[in-house]
Structures are given as C-alpha cells and as structure tokens.
Amino acid sequence: MVDDRDPGCPSRRAMLAGAGAAGVTALLTGCQTYGEAAAPAPGATGAAGGAAKPLATVADIPVGGGRIFAAQGVVVTQPTEGTIKAFSARCTHQGCTVTAVRDRTIVCACHNSVFDIADGSVRGGPAGQPLPEAAVSVEGNSIRLA
C-alpha cells in the first residue's frame, strides 16, 4: 500500500491518541490529498509530443485587462494593445490564487492585495513583493506557456 498522505500531516493513529473525534475529523479533512491532480508543467507537450496547447488568443485577453488561468498558475494581461504580459497567479502575500483582473490591476481577494497589469508591481494591500513574471510566447495570435 502506498502512503500518499501529506508528509506534514500527523498520522490518524497519532490524532486519535491525542484528540477527540470532532477534532480529528476537522484536522484530517485539511490533510487529505487523495485524488488531487498535479498541475501540468509549463510548456509541457501534448500526448503526441507536439507543442503545448495555447492558453488563449490575443483577442481573448482584453486590452487594459487580463485573464486568470488558475489551473496553469498564470495570469495573462494586455496592458496596451499587442503587448502581452504574464505573471504568477499566486499572490506574494500568502499564496492565494489571484481572483480578478479589473481597472488595470490584478486583485487577490484573500487579503486585498492589488498588482499592476503591466509589470506585476504592488499597487496596494499587504503584499510586499511584485508578482513574478511567467514565461509565455505569442506565436501569431496564440499565447502559449514558454
């Protein structure tokens, strides 16, 4: 049998020895990782060994806005027409996935951190570091993870 528990979580036996049933249920719920799919690696190739499937087209990304690709861990923006930028979708404050792109900013609703769509710099909130850039390429009208 394979032990696929999160190594940071205590064993069920240890939990039962030190806590009541209600506490055990609450604690173990957060530790369960069974069946979670791993995120695809950036730039991963398809089953036939070809290029990665495009994230979007340039037309899918609004000028002055952007779109979050949570499964791929990136947010793609178009600060000015024809300029495509990409950043990590993970907030630098406490690691939540950013939730919106509006008013030329990338917003994390967890603690209201706000980042600039052009360079990922912090525009407000508790985050102290900018969003790291993510590598994307634009091939014709297709935007792909690089």
Walk along the chain (146 residues) and give the pLDDT tens digit of each residue: 444 444 444 444 444 444 444 443 443 334 333 333 334 444 444 444 446 789 999 999 999 999 999 999 999 999 999 999 999 999 999 999 999 999 999 999 999 999 999 999 999 999 999 999 999 999 999 999 98
86: helix, strand or coil: strand
- Beta bridge pairs of residue 105: 102, 116
Query: Tokens at residue 49, please?
Result: 């060994």
Closest CA to 85 of 93, 73, 77: 77
Please give the model's pTM, rounded to 2 decimal places.
Answer: 0.66
What would you report as the CA-atom Rg of the chain, rounded to the nearest whole angstrom?
19
Whole-angstrom Cα distance, residue 144 to residue 74?
A: 11
Closest CA to 73 of 87, 54, 53, 52: 87
Whole-angstrom Cα distance, residue 113 to residue 126?
A: 6
Whole-angstrom Cα distance, residue 18 to residue 100?
A: 42
